[in-house]
Amino acid sequence: MTGRRVALATYAQLPQLAPDDRPLVPALAALGIAAEPVVWDNRAAGWNGFDAVVVRSCWDYHLRVGRFLDWLAAVESQGVPVINPSTLLRWNADKRYLLDLAARGISIVPTRVVAHGDRVTLAQLLDQLGIEQAVVKPAVSASAHATWRTSRLAAETDENRFRALVAAGDVLVQPLVREVAEAGEWSLICFGGEASHAVLKRPAPGDWRVQGELGGTAEIREAPASLLESGGRVLAAARAEASTYARVDGCLVDGRFTLMELELIEPQLYLGLEPHAAGRFARAIAAALA
């Protein structure tokens, strides 16, 4: 493995990677693998000079998903492996993957997909779903981008906003999961298909979103047995047991783990919270290179 070189793909606003990803560089160096942050849409990047490209801090991919998927194809056309494999990344880029997982037996947050240009109104959707409050988001989104909360009382006021979102692309409508605000959302981080560590995330008081940039908090916790078991089932259903990295996000609803997201592209992996996580991630990358 000595002498291998990998690119850690990032984006222009974080040319040296997100702080949480930076511990991966020395962890790979300890295994004899040189790791270099490279901005994914840098046209001057020489991808064929690397043994693999590991997708990491590409936190703008959802804003130009077509360009991002074209970039993946271009890297692979040069014979350079992408980690995670691009087949998984392409599938995971559109949140309709949740419906695939539901069809394979995974318990998900009830999800209604509104196709691009559909004329159904927000009020009609809430009636059809039988819910009082909902979360609306683009089918291609990350970090709660263009994600907002609505209700039956606000549906008429929010209709123009909803119409604009549907005019731009496919949209997901899901019931607001109160358990996230009440008990938090779990993230199970896996490397090489094996559980590494678990994080409990909570939104800021009065909010419902757990992202750190929106005031959410995260702390390392021992993963409940139900989370470990459910995480394994999710990876198996996604045919992602061999993924080099994955994050399974969900919460307990009536005592049952309910999947909210399976993150296979660029999730925060909380390497800074778990001292052994970067080493585990580095070993999974080494195994993928082998």
pLDDT at residue 206, as a whole number: 66
3-state secondary structure (DSSP) of residue 258: strand
Are the C-beta atoms of 140 and 116 separated by less than 8 Å? Answer: no
Strands, DSSP E only, in the chain? Answer: 4-10, 33-39, 52-57, 82-83, 112-114, 133-138, 148-151, 171-175, 185-191, 194-202, 217-221, 245-253, 256-263
**Which residue did the predictor score with more confidence, 247 or 117?**
247
Whole-number Å distance between alpha carbons of 62 and 231 = 24
Q: In terms of domains, do 136 and 28 share one?
A: no
Give the pLDDT confidence of 58-78 residue by residue, as tens digits. Answer: 999 988 999 999 999 999 999
Q: 184 and 166, same structural domain?
A: no
Same domain flag for 221 and 101: yes
Residue 154 belongs to what domain range?
112-175
Mean pLDDT of all residues in 85-105: 95
- Domain count of the fold of the chain: 3
Question: Is there a domain that residue 272 lies in?
Answer: no
- pLDDT band for position 1 (cuts 50, 70, 90): very low
Domain check: are 210 and 125 in the same one? no
Specify the pLDDT at position 164.
Answer: 92
State in Å, rounded, how far the first CA of the chain is from the last one: 8
Q: Is 277 a member of any domain?
A: no
Whether this model's pTM surpasses 0.75: yes
Q: What is the pLDDT of residue 210?
A: 62
CATH number at residue 167: 3.30.1490.20
| Rounded-to-integer distance, Cα 139 and Cα 100, Å | 14
Regarding whether 102 and 230 lie in a shared domain, the answer is yes
pLDDT at 207 > cutoff 80: no
Is residue 201 in a domain? yes
CA 121 and chain centroid, separation: 28
Same domain, residue pair 72 and 212 = no
